[in-house]
Amino acid sequence: IFSLQDNEALQECDFVAGCNMFIKNKLVYENGGFDELVKGDSTEVEMGLKLRDKGYVNLFGPSVALKHTLSPLERNNLGVKLKSVRERWVLGRRNRIRYFIKNRGIKSGAAVFSVYFSEDVIAILAFVKQQFLGFKRPDSQNFPNSGEKFRHFFFLVRRMFDPFLWNMVHLRKTLECRHINFLENKDNPGDEY
Protein backbone atom coordinates (compact mmCIF):
# COMPACT_ATOMS: atom_id res chain seq x y z
CA ILE A 1 0.00 0.00 0.00
CA PHE A 2 1.30 3.43 -0.82
CA SER A 3 0.03 6.96 -0.70
CA LEU A 4 1.07 10.06 -2.53
CA GLN A 5 1.74 13.23 -0.59
CA ASP A 6 -0.57 16.11 -1.39
CA ASN A 7 2.32 18.14 -2.75
CA GLU A 8 3.62 15.38 -5.04
CA ALA A 9 2.53 15.71 -8.65
CA LEU A 10 2.10 12.61 -10.75
CA GLN A 11 4.12 12.68 -13.95
CA GLU A 12 3.06 11.43 -17.36
CA CYS A 13 5.06 8.72 -19.13
CA ASP A 14 4.59 6.48 -22.16
CA PHE A 15 4.94 3.10 -20.45
CA VAL A 16 3.24 1.11 -17.74
CA ALA A 17 5.73 -0.38 -15.31
CA GLY A 18 4.96 -4.06 -14.86
CA CYS A 19 6.81 -4.13 -11.56
CA ASN A 20 4.48 -1.67 -9.83
CA MET A 21 1.56 -1.01 -12.12
CA PHE A 22 -2.07 -0.47 -11.30
CA ILE A 23 -4.29 -1.07 -14.30
CA LYS A 24 -7.78 -2.38 -14.85
CA ASN A 25 -7.75 -5.95 -16.15
CA LYS A 26 -10.35 -4.86 -18.67
CA LEU A 27 -7.80 -2.61 -20.39
CA VAL A 28 -5.25 -5.41 -20.62
CA TYR A 29 -7.86 -7.73 -22.16
CA GLU A 30 -9.20 -5.08 -24.55
CA ASN A 31 -5.66 -4.57 -25.86
CA GLY A 32 -4.88 -8.25 -26.36
CA GLY A 33 -2.53 -8.58 -23.38
CA PHE A 34 1.19 -7.96 -23.27
CA ASP A 35 2.95 -8.81 -26.52
CA GLU A 36 4.84 -12.01 -25.76
CA LEU A 37 6.93 -11.61 -28.92
CA VAL A 38 8.57 -8.38 -27.72
CA LYS A 39 12.20 -9.06 -26.90
CA GLY A 40 13.62 -7.82 -23.62
CA ASP A 41 11.70 -6.05 -20.90
CA SER A 42 9.89 -3.59 -23.19
CA THR A 43 6.45 -5.21 -23.02
CA GLU A 44 5.41 -2.41 -20.67
CA VAL A 45 6.37 0.22 -23.26
CA GLU A 46 4.33 -1.63 -25.89
CA MET A 47 1.24 -1.68 -23.62
CA GLY A 48 1.77 1.92 -22.47
CA LEU A 49 2.01 3.24 -26.02
CA LYS A 50 -1.06 1.24 -27.01
CA LEU A 51 -3.06 2.73 -24.12
CA ARG A 52 -1.78 6.23 -24.88
CA ASP A 53 -2.86 5.83 -28.52
CA LYS A 54 -6.38 5.07 -27.25
CA GLY A 55 -6.51 8.26 -25.17
CA TYR A 56 -5.43 6.95 -21.76
CA VAL A 57 -2.77 8.67 -19.70
CA ASN A 58 0.01 6.69 -18.00
CA LEU A 59 1.11 8.26 -14.73
CA PHE A 60 3.77 7.52 -12.15
CA GLY A 61 4.67 8.92 -8.76
CA PRO A 62 8.39 9.73 -8.66
CA SER A 63 8.68 8.86 -4.96
CA VAL A 64 7.28 5.35 -5.39
CA ALA A 65 10.21 3.03 -5.83
CA LEU A 66 11.09 -0.65 -5.77
CA LYS A 67 14.43 -2.28 -5.28
CA HIS A 68 15.10 -4.97 -7.88
CA THR A 69 17.43 -7.87 -7.61
CA LEU A 70 18.12 -8.77 -11.23
CA SER A 71 17.99 -12.39 -12.19
CA PRO A 72 21.03 -13.81 -13.99
CA LEU A 73 19.04 -13.74 -17.22
CA GLU A 74 17.65 -10.24 -16.55
CA ARG A 75 14.15 -11.29 -17.67
CA ASN A 76 14.94 -10.75 -21.33
CA ASN A 77 12.57 -13.44 -22.73
CA LEU A 78 15.45 -14.99 -24.63
CA GLY A 79 17.45 -16.68 -21.92
CA VAL A 80 20.50 -14.64 -22.94
CA LYS A 81 22.19 -12.43 -20.38
CA LEU A 82 22.36 -8.81 -21.48
CA LYS A 83 25.90 -7.48 -21.38
CA SER A 84 25.17 -4.06 -19.94
CA VAL A 85 22.85 -1.11 -19.61
CA ARG A 86 24.04 -0.15 -23.10
CA GLU A 87 22.50 -3.35 -24.47
CA ARG A 88 19.18 -2.31 -22.94
CA TRP A 89 19.32 1.02 -24.82
CA VAL A 90 19.68 -0.76 -28.14
CA LEU A 91 16.96 -3.27 -27.25
CA GLY A 92 14.62 -0.48 -26.12
CA ARG A 93 15.07 1.36 -29.41
CA ARG A 94 14.47 -1.81 -31.41
CA ASN A 95 11.21 -2.43 -29.57
CA ARG A 96 9.96 1.14 -29.77
CA ILE A 97 10.50 1.21 -33.56
CA ARG A 98 8.86 -2.26 -33.74
CA TYR A 99 5.81 -0.90 -31.91
CA PHE A 100 5.35 1.93 -34.39
CA ILE A 101 5.83 -0.35 -37.41
CA LYS A 102 3.39 -2.90 -35.98
CA ASN A 103 0.68 -0.47 -34.87
CA ARG A 104 1.03 2.57 -37.12
CA GLY A 105 2.83 1.36 -40.23
CA ILE A 106 6.29 1.31 -41.75
CA LYS A 107 6.41 5.06 -42.40
CA SER A 108 5.74 5.75 -38.74
CA GLY A 109 8.53 3.36 -37.71
CA ALA A 110 10.87 5.08 -40.16
CA ALA A 111 9.98 8.46 -38.64
CA VAL A 112 10.85 7.23 -35.12
CA PHE A 113 14.11 5.76 -36.44
CA SER A 114 15.01 9.08 -38.10
CA VAL A 115 14.60 10.90 -34.77
CA TYR A 116 16.91 8.40 -33.07
CA PHE A 117 19.33 8.55 -36.00
CA SER A 118 19.55 12.36 -35.79
CA GLU A 119 20.16 12.21 -32.03
CA ASP A 120 22.88 9.58 -32.56
CA VAL A 121 24.69 11.59 -35.24
CA ILE A 122 24.83 14.55 -32.84
CA ALA A 123 25.99 12.29 -29.99
CA ILE A 124 28.75 10.76 -32.13
CA LEU A 125 29.99 14.15 -33.33
CA ALA A 126 30.00 15.51 -29.76
CA PHE A 127 31.82 12.41 -28.53
CA VAL A 128 34.52 12.68 -31.22
CA LYS A 129 34.93 16.40 -30.52
CA GLN A 130 35.28 15.86 -26.76
CA GLN A 131 37.22 12.59 -26.58
CA PHE A 132 39.41 12.59 -29.68
CA LEU A 133 39.85 16.27 -30.52
CA GLY A 134 40.31 17.47 -26.94
CA PHE A 135 37.38 19.87 -26.64
CA LYS A 136 36.25 18.53 -23.28
CA ARG A 137 33.87 20.34 -21.03
CA PRO A 138 33.96 20.03 -17.23
CA ASP A 139 31.02 17.57 -17.35
CA SER A 140 32.49 15.42 -20.18
CA GLN A 141 32.85 11.71 -19.57
CA ASN A 142 36.37 10.57 -18.75
CA PHE A 143 37.53 7.24 -20.10
CA PRO A 144 40.57 5.55 -18.55
CA ASN A 145 42.23 4.68 -21.87
CA SER A 146 41.90 4.78 -25.64
CA GLY A 147 40.42 1.28 -25.73
CA GLU A 148 37.46 2.43 -23.63
CA LYS A 149 37.00 5.50 -25.84
CA PHE A 150 36.90 3.37 -28.99
CA ARG A 151 34.56 0.83 -27.38
CA HIS A 152 32.14 3.61 -26.47
CA PHE A 153 32.46 5.14 -29.95
CA PHE A 154 31.60 1.82 -31.61
CA PHE A 155 28.66 1.37 -29.24
CA LEU A 156 27.31 4.76 -30.38
CA VAL A 157 27.68 3.71 -34.03
CA ARG A 158 25.97 0.38 -33.31
CA ARG A 159 23.16 2.16 -31.45
CA MET A 160 22.62 4.26 -34.58
CA PHE A 161 22.18 1.39 -37.07
CA ASP A 162 21.17 -1.68 -35.04
CA PRO A 163 17.47 -0.79 -34.42
CA PHE A 164 16.87 -0.16 -38.13
CA LEU A 165 18.68 -3.29 -39.33
CA TRP A 166 17.04 -5.49 -36.69
CA ASN A 167 13.57 -4.25 -37.62
CA MET A 168 14.20 -4.80 -41.33
CA VAL A 169 15.31 -8.38 -40.67
CA HIS A 170 12.21 -9.02 -38.50
CA LEU A 171 9.75 -6.92 -40.51
CA ARG A 172 7.66 -9.83 -41.82
CA LYS A 173 7.27 -11.31 -38.33
CA THR A 174 6.35 -7.90 -36.89
CA LEU A 175 3.66 -7.36 -39.51
CA GLU A 176 2.31 -10.89 -39.03
CA CYS A 177 1.75 -10.33 -35.30
CA ARG A 178 -0.28 -7.13 -35.76
CA HIS A 179 -3.57 -8.68 -34.73
CA ILE A 180 -2.52 -11.41 -32.32
CA ASN A 181 -4.54 -11.49 -29.12
CA PHE A 182 -2.20 -12.92 -26.49
CA LEU A 183 -5.16 -13.48 -24.14
CA GLU A 184 -7.42 -15.18 -26.67
CA ASN A 185 -8.02 -18.34 -24.62
CA LYS A 186 -7.91 -16.71 -21.18
CA ASP A 187 -10.92 -15.84 -19.04
CA ASN A 188 -11.69 -12.13 -18.77
CA PRO A 189 -12.05 -11.33 -15.07
CA GLY A 190 -13.97 -8.12 -15.77
CA ASP A 191 -13.29 -4.65 -14.44
CA GLU A 192 -11.07 -5.54 -11.49
CA TYR A 193 -7.66 -4.15 -10.63
Q: How many helices (H) and strands (E) does the chain have?
A: 6, 2
- Percent helix, strand and coil across the chain, each rounded to 5? 50, 5, 50
- Give the DSSP letter of residue 37: T
- DSSP β-bridge partners for residue 59: 12
Among candidate residues 97, 74, 80, the one with its CA nearest the CA of residue 159: 97
Q: Residue 48 CB: number of other CB atoms within 10 A? A: 22
Greatest Cα pair distance in the chain: 62
Q: CB neighbours (10 Å) of residue 137?
A: 8
Contact criterion met (CB below 8 Å) for 24 and 30: no
pLDDT value of position 73: 44
pLDDT by residue for the chain (193 residues), tens digit each?
Answer: 455 555 567 778 877 766 667 788 888 888 888 888 876 667 788 888 888 889 998 887 766 665 555 544 444 444 444 455 566 778 888 888 998 999 889 999 999 999 999 999 998 998 899 888 888 878 777 888 889 889 889 988 988 999 999 999 999 988 888 878 878 766 655 544 4
The single-letter DSSP state of residue 11 is E
| Neighbour tally for 25: CB within 10 Å | 14
Let me know how long the chain is: 193
